[in-house]
């Protein structure tokens, strides 16, 4: 290994370097509060490794070691350079003037262990932890248990069905503990599975429906632990071949590992995967967005807003936003990502600006705007969020929307238009409209396409992106309604035997070969390539509740309830109508189980469900920062555009 060799730090692989000058090192070092060195866990060793030491936390159990946040990293010896991991996060959004997050709020942030230590109600107390909490002034009873007869009466007064009973049992069995406290759920918990791959990990995105199920049942502890522990992992040193992705990235998943010590002792360590072990080394862009969304949901449902107000939690939000809002080469307000950066975490031709990422990004921005503590340090960030929300919603509503009328427009597009006033801005060749779409698009309804790039529209229907656009009001109220109309009209294709298709239609033949790279797992109508994913049920349910279409949600839930227990709660289904349990589908997949439970609870607690979605924000529609609207010479393209789509 060369001078930049990886080193082991408390059993963790660390490495990768971002060189700064010795002068900057001194300058930054001088900003470390003088009393920090006296902190019992602060480490500044002669090798230049600075940070918080691993600390034993006796409250968490005798053998529990929690790796605490590494504040500043490695001196790269021989090169006289140093990496400062989290000393200062400078954002370059527009005017380069967001807070320097760690200098102001981070270097003296306590290691999370200390923070968790002091929290009441956090350390595992299995039975008492199932406490009911107040929801907006109303006592939420969650469930009441009739121990004599073994029956559980849900809050709406009916007895829990067999499927629900089994689902709760399985969900609880999937709970992962760390130092005696619940911190998440396994992706899948199939006792018959010999090769768990990484399904024995806690995935950030997969945990969301589990979290909602627990929250809706009145059990906030696991969610709170999850949020705090994953926050701690956010600043972990991570590398792929000595290159570090941006600070603020949340892992795709984590695992609790038991590491042997001397004399028959062991310790538990949280081991995150930021994509460095994931198949294809995909970047989990959606993890941070889901984390923000869940943080807001936790506050809304439990009423515990203190968590999101904590300094280090605020810092966590800002780090994620800094990553998302930093300037790049983009021409669009949508987020530019690589293939496989979300629920579809394999090559599926969704690189660029996939809808799923855009709708989660939009939701996360809306959540952050609600949760950020307003002060001098955050006001530029909030301004940037508002500008981005406005530009993003315009972009998606105007350019991603298709219905029969719009397709006809594209069909008649002129091409090679050079000017700022072009109608066919992205130079889409009409020949790109696929044959299936011409036949398929109904008279009523429409949807947001999967992706938009120069000269490229991906016309596939991606379910999660469309549903989450409804939930977050990324689409207009009319568009949101139309999406559900289309799902209704195309029920057999999009729901069929099992809600719901991850995308429609499948890539087949030459397209499959070229776009997926001949992926044998993503064969036509299987897995990510047109497979049916029961976990999408909860997002569908939420969207239906928001739009007042609960009959559709009930229809889907009934279908799922009949099949899922009999099929052992599969991860996905295959074939054009979702008839067969997927070729390589895991059984006892946790987000299938939790998605089903959450859907039922949302339908029976619609007031609570309303805490999880957003209405149209009319003020956002008026924001335009391009500065052209008032100048006589050029017209702002947004105002010149078909503005009827905005309402
Ligand atoms: C698959 C899915 C991904 C999920 C993971 C764990 O890779 O594509 O979305 O998070 O399995 O269930």
CA distances from 623 to 95, 389, 469, 590 (A): 18, 9, 20, 41
CB 76 within 8 A of CB 54: no
**Residue 203 near ligand 1, beta carbon < 6 Å:** yes
pTM attached to this predicted model: 0.81
Helix 477-489 and helix 550-563, axial crossing angle in degrees, nearest 10:
40
pLDDT at 235: 63
Most informative mutation of 187, 344, 590 for ligand 1 (most atoms within 8 A of CB): 187
pLDDT at 275: 77
Other C-beta atoms closer than 10 Å to the C-beta of 241 total 8
**Residue 536 near ligand 1, beta carbon < 6 Å:** no
Q: What percentage of residues in the chain have a pLDDT greater than 90?
A: 63
**Residue 343 near ligand 1, beta carbon < 6 Å:** yes
**Strand (E) positions, 163-304?**
175-178, 181-185, 202-203, 253-260, 266-273
326, 324, 297, 322: which is closest to 378 by C-alpha? 322
Q: What separation, in Å, do the N-terminal and C-terminal C-alpha atoms of the chain show?
A: 60
Give the residue with greater pLDDT, 262 vs 507.
Answer: 507
The ligand 1 atom at the shortest distance from the C-alpha of residue 342 is: 9
341, 335, 339, 365: which is closest to 353 by C-alpha? 335
The residue whose CA has the least distance to atom 7 of ligand 1 is: 345
Band of pLDDT at residue 508, cut at 50, 70 and 90: very high
Kindly give the distance from the C-alpha atom of residue 319 to the centroid of ligand 1, in angstroms, as a whole number. Answer: 24
pLDDT for residue 499 is more than 70 = yes
**Residue 282 near ligand 1, beta carbon < 6 Å:** no
The ligand 1 atom at the shortest distance from the C-alpha of residue 345 is: 8
**Residue 99 near ligand 1, beta carbon < 6 Å:** no
Helix 379-399 and helix 311-325, axial crossing angle in degrees, nearest 10:
40
The ligand 1 atom at the shortest distance from the C-alpha of residue 205 is: 10
Residue whose token pair is 């594209």: 410
d(CA 549, CA 554): 9
pLDDT for residue 54 is more than 50 = no
CB 83 within 8 A of CB 17: yes
Band of pLDDT at residue 643, cut at 50, 70 and 90: very low
Kindly give the distance from the C-alpha atom of residue 422 to the centroid of ligand 1, in angstroms, as a whole number. Answer: 40
What mean pLDDT, rounded, does the chain reach?
A: 79
Mean pLDDT of 628-645: 58
Kindly give the distance from the C-alpha atom of residue 230 to the centroid of ligand 1, in angstroms, as a whole number. Answer: 18
**Residue 202 near ligand 1, beta carbon < 6 Å:** no
CB 541 within 8 A of CB 553: yes
d(CA 335, CA 355): 9
Report pLDDT digits (tens) over 362-373: 999 999 999 999
Kindly give the distance from the C-alpha atom of residue 231 to the centroid of ligand 1, in angstroms, as a whole number. Answer: 21
The residue whose CA has the least distance to atom 3 of ligand 1 is: 343
218, 259, 645: which is closest to 474 by C-alpha? 645
**Residue 401 near ligand 1, beta carbon < 6 Å:** no
The ligand 1 atom at the shortest distance from the C-alpha of residue 528 is: 8
**Residue 345 near ligand 1, beta carbon < 6 Å:** yes
Q: 570 by DSSP, 3-state: which? A: coil
d(CA 310, CA 313): 5
Nearest 5°: CA angle at 85, between 63 and 343? 75
The ligand 1 atom at the shortest distance from the C-alpha of residue 201 is: 6
Give the residue with greater pLDDT, 226 vs 121.
Answer: 226
The residue whose CA has the least distance to atom 4 of ligand 1 is: 343
């Amino acid at each position: 290994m060369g001078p930049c060799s990886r080193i082991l730090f408390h059993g963790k692989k660390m490495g990768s370097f971002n060189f700064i000058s010795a002068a900057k090192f001194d300058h930054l070092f001088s900003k470390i509060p003088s009393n920090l060195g006296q902190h019992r866990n602060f480490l500044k060793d002669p090798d230049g490794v600075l940070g918080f030491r691993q600390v034993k936390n006796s409250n968490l159990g005798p053998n529990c070691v929690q790796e605490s946040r590494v504040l500043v990293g490695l001196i790269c010896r021989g090169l006289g350079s140093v990496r400062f991991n989290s000393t200062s996060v400078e954002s370059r959004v527009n005017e380069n003037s967001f807070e320097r997050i760690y200098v102001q709020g981070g270097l003296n942030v306590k290691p999370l262990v200390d923070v968790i230590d002091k929290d009441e109600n956090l350390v595992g107390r299995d039975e008492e932890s199932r406490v009911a909490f107040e929801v907006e002034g109303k006592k939420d009873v969650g469930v009441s248990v009739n121990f004599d007869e073994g029956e559980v009466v849900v809050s709406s007064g009916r007895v829990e069905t067999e499927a629900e009973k089994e689902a709760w049992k399985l969900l609880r069995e999937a709970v992962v503990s760390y130092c005696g406290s619940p911190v998440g759920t396994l992706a899948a918990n199939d006792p018959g599975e010999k090769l768990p791959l990484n399904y024995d990990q806690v995935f950030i995105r997969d945990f969301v429906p589990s979290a909602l199920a627990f929250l809706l049942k009145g059990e906030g502890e696991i969610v709170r632990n999850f949020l705090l522990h994953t926050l701690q992992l956010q600043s972990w040193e991570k590398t792929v071949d000595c290159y570090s992705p941006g600070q603020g990235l949340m892992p795709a998943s984590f695992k609790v590992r038991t590491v042997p010590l001397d004399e028959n002792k062991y310790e538990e360590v949280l081991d995150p995967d930021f994509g460095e072990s994931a198949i294809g080394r995909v970047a989990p862009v959606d993890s941070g967005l889901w984390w923000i969304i869940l943080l807001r949901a936790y506050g809304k449902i439990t009423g515990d807003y203190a968590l999101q107000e904590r300094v280090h939690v605020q810092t966590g939000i800002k780090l994620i936003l800094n990553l998302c809002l930093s300037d790049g080469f983009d021409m669009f307000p949508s987020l530019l990502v690589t293939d496989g950066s979300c629920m579809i975490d394999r090559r599926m031709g969704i690189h660029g600006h996939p809808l799923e990422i855009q709708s989660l990004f939009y939701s996360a921005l809306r959540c952050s705007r609600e949760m950020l503590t307003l002060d001098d340090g955050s006001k530029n960030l909030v301004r940037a969020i508002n500008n981005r929300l406005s530009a993003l919603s315009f972009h998606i509503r105007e350019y991603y929307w298709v219905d029969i009328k719009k397709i006809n427009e594209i069909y008649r597009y002129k091409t090679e238009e050079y000017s700022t006033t072009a109608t066919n801005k992205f130079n889409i060749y009409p020949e790109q409209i696929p044959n299936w779409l011409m036949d398929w698009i109904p008279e009523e309804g429409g949807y947001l396409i999967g992706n938009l790039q120069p000269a490229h529209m991906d016309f596939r229907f991606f379910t999660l992106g469309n549903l989450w656009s409804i939930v977050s009001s990324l689409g207009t109220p009319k568009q949101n309604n139309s999406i559900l109309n289309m799902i209704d009209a195309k029920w057999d294709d999009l729901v069929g035997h099992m809600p719901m298709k991850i995308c429609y239609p499948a890539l087949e033949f030459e397209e499959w070969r070229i776009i997926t790279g001949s992926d044998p797992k993503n064969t036509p109508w299987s897995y990510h390539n047109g497979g049916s994913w029961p976990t999408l049920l909860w997002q569908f349910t939420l969207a239906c509740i928001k739009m007042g279409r609960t009959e559709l949600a009930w229809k889907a839930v009934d279908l799922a309830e009949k099949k899922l227990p009999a099929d052992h709660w599969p991860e996905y289904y295959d074939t054009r109508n979702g008839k067969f349990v997927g070729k390589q589908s895991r059984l006892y997949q946790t987000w299938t189980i939790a998605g089903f439970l959450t859907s039922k609870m949302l339908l029976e607690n619609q007031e609570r469900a309303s805490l999880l979605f957003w209405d149209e924000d009319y003020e956002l529609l008026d924001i335009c920062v391009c500065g052209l609207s008032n100048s006589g010479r050029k017209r702002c393209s947004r105002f010149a555009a078909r503005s009827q789509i905005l309402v």
